[in-house]
Structure 1
Amino acid sequence: MVLLLGGCSFQSHTPAPVETLYTGKTFKDKPRGSVTQSRYRVQPGDTLYSIAWASGTDYRDLARINRLPSPYTIQVGQWLDLRSVKKSAATASPATKPAKTSTNTSRSTSAAVRSSKQKENTKPVDPKISQEYASTRSSQNINRPLKPALPRKVSKWRWPASGKVVARYSDSAQGQKGLDIVSREGTPVVASAEGRVVYAGSALRGYGKLIIIKHSDDYLSAYAHNRKILVKEKQVVKSGQQIAEMGSTDSDRVMLHFEIRYRGKSVDPERYLPKK
């Protein structure tokens, strides 16, 4: 596991799910869908997300079909069924009659974020995955193109919060995988770029109240330890729009842990953010 912040209590609750889902050395340079076989044997450096990317599937379907509970740990040499995942996705893809309301009756009650007037979701991750991330019919699919489509490139990034950077990105194996920004509790947390919220909740261990935004087919950003989440899944947000209030959930201090990921791999946010 990668420790996000050396020498701090953040080590005690390393956010394994995001690391498990969005990193992976084996496929980071391979085109999506390049793995076509019906079964795949896990190789060193693989993660659930990297395998999903290379096989052109959704990591949630991959976990559900192969009965992988959160945090989706896979072992070298383990065989994963890809054929059933693709078959499941194919049966879910035909269009269905539009619902009379915007509410999806099959939407997950574990990972979905209610409005600010409703109780914050804190249920643990369901081993069946569908309770955590829902099916392709009812939940935003992180691996598939967004409709309406978002830009292929992110032209401009902005700082997600004001405050002091107390920990910076490191590309070492056990280094920091993002930025830790310290400020006052309740400090506005804003979207670093335009995108769509693909996760908003508190079920992922080590991140507290977490928001993940998909900006394009390649880029994701993550915002952790919030006091209050102000957006919901599938919501499209503009660059600079407030999405949360800074807090200390799953942290020993008030701070925002911020990450940018390119094709599942952590990158240095300060390479993209404007100079301070």
Structure 2
Amino acid sequence: MQKGETLFSIAWHTGNDYRDLAKLNNIAPPYNIYPGQIINLTKQKVTSKANEALPRGQTSKIKSNQPVDPPAKQAYGKSEKNVNGGASGPPVGEFPEQVSAWIWPTSNAITNMFSAKEAGNKGLDFSGSIGQPILAAADGKVVYTGNALRGFGNLVIIKHSDAYLTAYAHNDKILVKEQQWVKSGQNIATMGKSGTDTVKLHFEVRYKGKSIDPLQFLPKRK
């Protein structure tokens, strides 16, 4: 890993759940890591004969687009138990191969479009006012809620498949918890200006950790 990265930023930029990376690399809460540490992103393979581990697989050498603050003790979910009030969601780790349908996280106007440039906007920015609802863009599981990633404010990240994540930044209030399964269109947060000076929603879609234009997936507006 590089200076300024945390386990949470590595998970975000590689399209993983930070709990999975922590378990894979035997990292205990509060998930502190250090510069130069090798973070495995996939399980090590073993030989069929001697059952010996092969050389380490893919490691994190990803350059974060922005520095990451040290993790705050209360910045992350308090429990990894079922937080759906007893409702049974899909089995843990069971995601669809493809996202069946996408919806807009808000009906508000787009104020800043996606840019593929290195320093460009990595999602869509929407105008709005404090307290307006923010909706899950597809079915999935909440894999992160918190404010440890500088520049995103109060952030919600939802995993929709093994490849796709969405992020909802600058929220005022977060209405879901980590490990909670949510439905498309469910109110997951309210709009705010945390981490910025203007009320807005910053929305990202990531495929295997790479930012892609959300307009490729969202239905056309009338």
Normalising by structure 2, we get a TM-score of 0.67
1:97-246 counterparts in 2 under 5 A? Answer: 125=71, 138=80, 147=92, 149-246=94-191
1:58 aligned to which of 20, 42, 59: 20
Q: CA deviation at 1:257?
A: 0.5
- Show CA shifts across 1:161-211 (max 9, x none): 121111111111111100111112111100000001111122332211111
Q: CA deviation at 1:59?
A: 2.7
SS of residue matched to 1:225: strand
C-alpha distance in 2 between matches for 1:255 and 1:81: 34
CA separation of 1:138 and 1:231: change in aligned 2, threshold 3 A: closer
SS of residue matched to 2:202: strand
Q: CA deviation at 1:156?
A: 1.0
Q: Which residue of 2 aligns with 1:43?
A: none
What is the alpha-carbon root mean square deviation over aligned residues? 3.7
Q: Which amino acid aligns with 1:152?
A: E
Q: What's the % identity of the aligned pairs?
A: 43
Q: Which amino acid aligns with 1:125?
A: P
1:246-265 counterparts in 2 under 5 A? Answer: 246-265=191-210
1:80 aligned to which of 32, 35, 38: 38
Q: Point out the structure with the larger helix share.
A: 1
Q: Which residue of 2 aligns with 1:22?
A: 12
Q: CA deviation at 1:147?
A: 1.9
SS of residue matched to 1:216: coil
Q: CA deviation at 1:139?
A: 7.6
Q: Which amino acid aligns with 2:206?
A: R
CA separation of 1:211 and 1:190: change in aligned 2, threshold 3 A: same
- Show CA shifts across 1:86-123 (max 9, x none): 6xxxxxxxxxxxxxxxxxxxxxxxxxxxxxxxxxxxx9
- Show CA shifts across 1:224-260 (max 9, x none): 1111111111111110011111001111111000001
C-alpha distance in 2 between matches for 1:150 and 1:224: 23
Contact 1:16 1:205 in 2 (8 A): no
SS of residue matched to 2:22: helix
C-alpha distance in 1 between matches for 2:111 and 2:191: 15
Q: CA deviation at 1:222?
A: 0.4
Q: CA deviation at 1:60?
A: 3.0
Contact 1:60 1:133 in 2 (8 A): no
C-alpha distance in 2 between matches for 1:170 and 1:17: 26
C-alpha distance in 2 between matches for 1:201 and 1:132: 5
Normalising by structure 1, we get a TM-score of 0.55
- Show CA shifts across 1:108-167 (max 9, x none): xxxxxxxxxxxxxxx96159xxx8668xx9489xxxx96262211002111101211111
Matched pairs, number: 181
C-alpha distance in 2 between matches for 1:155 and 1:73: 39
C-alpha distance in 2 between matches for 1:252 and 1:206: 11
CA separation of 1:223 and 1:208: change in aligned 2, threshold 3 A: same
C-alpha distance in 1 between matches for 2:137 and 2:197: 24
